Structure 1
Amino acid sequence: MEHQVELLAVGTELLLGNTLNTDARDLSRLLSGMGLNVYHHTVVGDNPGRLAQAVEIARSRADVIITTGGLGPTCDDLTKKVVAQAFGLPLEYHPECEESIRAYFAKSGREMTENNLQQAYLPQGCTVLENHWGTAPGCAFCVDGVHVVMLPGPPRECIPMFREQAVPYLSQLTQGVIHSRTLRIFGLGESGVEQLLRDKMNALTNPTLAPYAKEGEVELRITAKADTVEQAQAMIAPVEQEVRAMLGDQIYGADVSSLEEVVVPLLARKGLTLGTAESCTGGLIAKRITDVPGSSAVLRGGVVSYTNAVKSNVLGVSQELLDSQGAVCGEVARQMALGAREVLGCDLAVSTTGVAGPDSDDWGNPVGLVYVALATPQGCQVVELHLGGAAQRRDRVRTLAANHALDLVRRYCEK
C-alpha cells in the first residue's frame, strides 16, 4: 500500500514570516528516504477553528498526518486539543510525562510553572514520543486507518524526536525506500541542463532525473525507489555515469552542498595553499572557505581591499592604473591576485573586483560587471563576468562572483 503523507505546521509566526518552516523541508527529506511520499504541506495559525478545518481537509486526502508545533504549555498551544477532538479522542493524563517534564526543569536549573503540566495530557491510547530535547512530548495514534504523529515545533526538538521516536512508529507503514543522488552543477543554468537532458529525463520513470535551480548553480537529482538502499544505488549508478559523460566538468560534486565543500579537500589533497584578495565580494570567499572544517590547513589569509588605497598600499596594484582605469578592470584583478599571492605567501590567490550594485560606479561600469583572477605558479588567469543588469540583487552578484572564483580554484586543482 502506498501511503499519502501531509505535513501540517501550526504557528502564526510561520504565516507572518517571522519563522522559517525548516521542519517541513527536513521532514520531507527524511520521509522520502523512508519510502513515504509527502503530498501536501499545510501551514495554519494558532486559531482553533482554522486548525480544525485544516485537520479535516488533511484527513480527507492523506492517511498519514504529521503535525509540528502547538504542543507547548501556553494558551495558544492548541494542536493536541484540536487534533484529539477531530479524531474523537479525549485527552488523558500521563504521569510518566510529568516526571520527564519535572526532570528536564530540574536538570536545567529553571523553575517550572504549573502550566507546563498541560503537556502531560495526550490523546487517549496514543503512543508517547519522548522528548529528550525539550519539555513537550509528542505522540502518535491511528483512527479509522489514518495515522497521526504530533511533534514539537522547534527544529532542535522536532527533527531528533522524529529520527529517534517517530521513525520506529512509521517504519511499520513503509514498503521499500526512496534514495537520491544529487549532482551539483556550475556553469550551466537550469534551462541549459534541462535542454541537454530532456530526452533522458522524459525516458526515465525509475530512477527519475530532475534539475533544480539554486543560487547561481543547478542541483540535478537522480532518485530511485527500490526495496533496499543498495538496490536503489545500483539503479542510480548507470544514470549518473551517463549524465557525467554528457556534462563533464560542469559537475563539481555529488551529494555536496557547495563549491567550497569541494575546494577545501581538493586543495588539501594537492598540498596547495590559498589566499584571497576581495573587493566587491567583501570577504565572502574567505568566509565561505572558513565555513568548511579543515580550512585552516589550506587558507593562508585574505585581504578585503575595498578601497583603492588598500589595493595599492597592501596588494601593490599600480596607483597609475587605478587613477587611469578605475578599480573595475581585468588588469586590476590580475595585480590584486598576484599581490595577494606574494603578500600572503600562498600557492594560489584568487581576486575579485567589480560592481555589485545597486548603482553603476563612478566610471560608468554597469552593475554585474566583475573581474575574477587566479594567480598560480604558472601565471595568472583573468575572467570577465557579466552577472546581470541594474535589477540584479547586490547579494546575488556577490554570491555569483564568489562562485566563479571558487570554481576557478576547483578547475585548477582538478587539472
Structure 2
Amino acid sequence: MRAEIIAVGTELLLGQIANTNAQFLSQKLAEIGIGVYYHTVVGDNADRLYVQIQEALNRSDLLIFSGGLGPTKDDLTKETVARAVGKPLVHDEQALARIIAYFKQRGMTMTENNRKQALVVEGSHVLPNDHGMAPGMVIEHKGKHLMMLPGPPRELHPMFNTYGIPYLLSLMGGKNVVHSKVLRFFGIGESALEEELIDLIDSQTNPTIAPLAAEGEVTIRLTAKAKSVVEAETMIRSVEEQIEARVGQFIYGYDDDSLASVLVRELSVRGETVAFAESVTGGLASHLLTSIPGSSAALKGSIICYTNEVKEKQLGVPRDVLQTTGAVSGDAARIMAEQVRLRIGSTYGIAITGEAGPHASEKSIGLVYIGASDGKHTNVRELRLSGQRAAIQLRAAKHAIFTMLERIKKGGF
C-alpha cells in the first residue's frame, strides 16, 4: 500500500505552525508496514487542493488528509474530497448530536456554522472524535482510500490511534501482526552506523531496518510482519543479534528509552547517585535527568559553575589552573568532577566544560571536556562537537550522561 499525507492549511505554508501531524502519521504508518511516499502541504484553496487530490489518486493507494474539517469557510477538505469522488455531503446524526451536547453542557449558544462539522462524505466510514467536534472519515473511491483527520494534534493523534489504525489493519486483511522494536545508539553517527550495517540494510525484507538520526543520536527501527507477536519478536531478535555483534557498544537503550531515563534507572537499581558540575551546559544535563520521574534517587545535586569565580570558590579549581590551562581544559574538568562528587556527597561526579560559541575565545568553538570521577579514578574525555550553540550544549550534556552509562556498563572508571 502506497500512502501519502496531505496537510491542509495556509498557516502551515506561512510557517506559523509546524507540520508535526505528518511526522506523527509517517511514524505510525511505518509501524504497521505502510510506506509513505509523499508529503504535501496545500493552502486553504479548493482548486489547488482538488488538483493535488487528482495527482495523489494517480500515484497512491492511501491518501491521509490532516486539517480543514472545522466550521469556518476556509475549512474545505471534505467539500473538496467530496467533489473529487463525486459524492455529496450528508449530516452524520451521531456527530451532530455530540456537537449539540458539547455546546449545551457548557451553556453556550451553538452558531449555525458548527453544524458544518457534522457533515461527512456520503458512504464514508466515520471516525469518531473523542477529543473535539469534527469527526474524521474514510471514503473508498475506485480502489483507493481517502482518510480525513482533524488538524489539532490533540484530536488527530487519539483518533488515528483508536480508529484509524484498526481501519487500516482491516484493509490489510488482519492476517498478520506488525511489530517493531527501536534500538537507540549514541557515540556513532548515522553515516558511520549505516556503513557498518549496509549489507543488512540492502538485503532487508522482513524484518525491515530503518535508521533515523536525531540530535546527537541515531535510532534503528526493526519492523517484522508475522502471524503473531511472538513470531515477530523472534524474527526481530535474529537481526538485532547481528547488529549487536557489530555495533553493540553504541546501543544504550530500546523503544521509549532516553539517555537520561536509562541512567536514572541504572543508578537507582544500584543505589548510587551522580552529581554534575556544569559550565558550558548551564544545568542542561541536570535538567535532562530531573525530567525523568524518580530521578531524585539518582541525581543528588549539581553545581552550575558558569564563571571562573564560581569554579574557584565553589569547586576549588585553583586560580593558576584557570589562568594557565584555562577553564576549558582537561585539568579543570578533572578537578571539577572530583570536587563536585566530594562536596555534594554523590557516588560519581561528572563535569562538563567547553566553548559553545558563537564567538570563539582562546579555545575553538565545540571544544568540550567531560570529567568523570568515582573517588578512586578520574577520567577526562576531550570532544570536538559541531553545530550551533544550542546543539553543542545539548550534545555535550548527552555525552556527559553517556560517559556515565559507559562507566556503569564497564564496571567502573
TM range (shorter): over 0.9
- Secondary structure at the residue paired with 2:110? coil
Is the alpha carbon distance of 1:218 and 1:76 closer, same or farther for their aligned partners in structure 2, counting shifts above 3 Å? same
1:320 aligns to 2:315 (yes or no): no
1:401 aligns to 2:396 (yes or no): yes
The amino acid that maps onto 2:228 is T
Is the alpha carbon distance of 1:67 and 1:210 closer, same or farther for their aligned partners in structure 2, counting shifts above 3 Å? closer
Q: 1:112 aligns with which of 106, 110, 113?
A: 110
Asked whether the equivalents of residues 260 and 289 of structure 1 are also in contact (C-alpha less than 8 Å), the reply is yes
Structure 2 residue runs without a partner (length 5+): none
Question: Structure 1 residue 371: deviation in Å?
Answer: 0.8
What are the within-5 Å matches in structure 2 for residues 1-400 of structure 1? Answer: 3-108=1-106, 110-175=108-173, 176-361=176-361, 364-388=362-386, 392-400=387-395
CA distance in 1, matches of 2:385, 2:188: 13
Q: TM-score, normalised by structure 2?
A: 0.93
- Secondary structure at the residue paired with 2:71? coil
Post-superposition Cα deviations, 1:260-317, rounded to whole Å, max 9, x if no partner, equal 1211111111111111111101111011111212212211122211111111122222
The amino acid that maps onto 1:79 is T
Asked whether the equivalents of residues 184 and 256 of structure 1 are also in contact (C-alpha less than 8 Å), the reply is no
Post-superposition Cα deviations, 1:200-230, rounded to whole Å, max 9, x if no partner, equal 3334332233433322222223332333333
Cα RMSD, aligned residues only: 1.9
The amino acid that maps onto 1:378 is K
The amino acid that maps onto 2:198 is R
- Give structure 1 regions of 4+ aligned residues with deviation exceeding 6 angstroms: none
CA distance in 1, matches of 2:217, 2:23: 20
Answer with 254-263 or 348-357: which moved more.
254-263
Asked whether the equivalents of residues 280 and 306 of structure 1 are also in contact (C-alpha less than 8 Å), the reply is yes
CA distance in 2, matches of 1:109, 1:345: 58
Is the alpha carbon distance of 1:221 and 1:120 closer, same or farther for their aligned partners in structure 2, counting shifts above 3 Å? closer
Answer with 196-205 or 153-162: which moved more.
196-205
CA distance in 2, matches of 1:283, 1:109: 47
CA distance in 2, matches of 1:378, 1:69: 59
Q: TM-score, normalised by structure 1?
A: 0.93
Answer with 179-188 or 258-267: which moved more.
179-188
Count of aligned positions: 408
CA distance in 1, matches of 2:334, 2:67: 53
The amino acid that maps onto 1:403 is K
- Secondary structure at the residue paired with 1:159? helix
Is the alpha carbon distance of 1:11 and 1:300 closer, same or farther for their aligned partners in structure 2, counting shifts above 3 Å? same
Is the alpha carbon distance of 1:110 and 1:306 closer, same or farther for their aligned partners in structure 2, counting shifts above 3 Å? farther
CA distance in 2, matches of 1:385, 1:323: 22
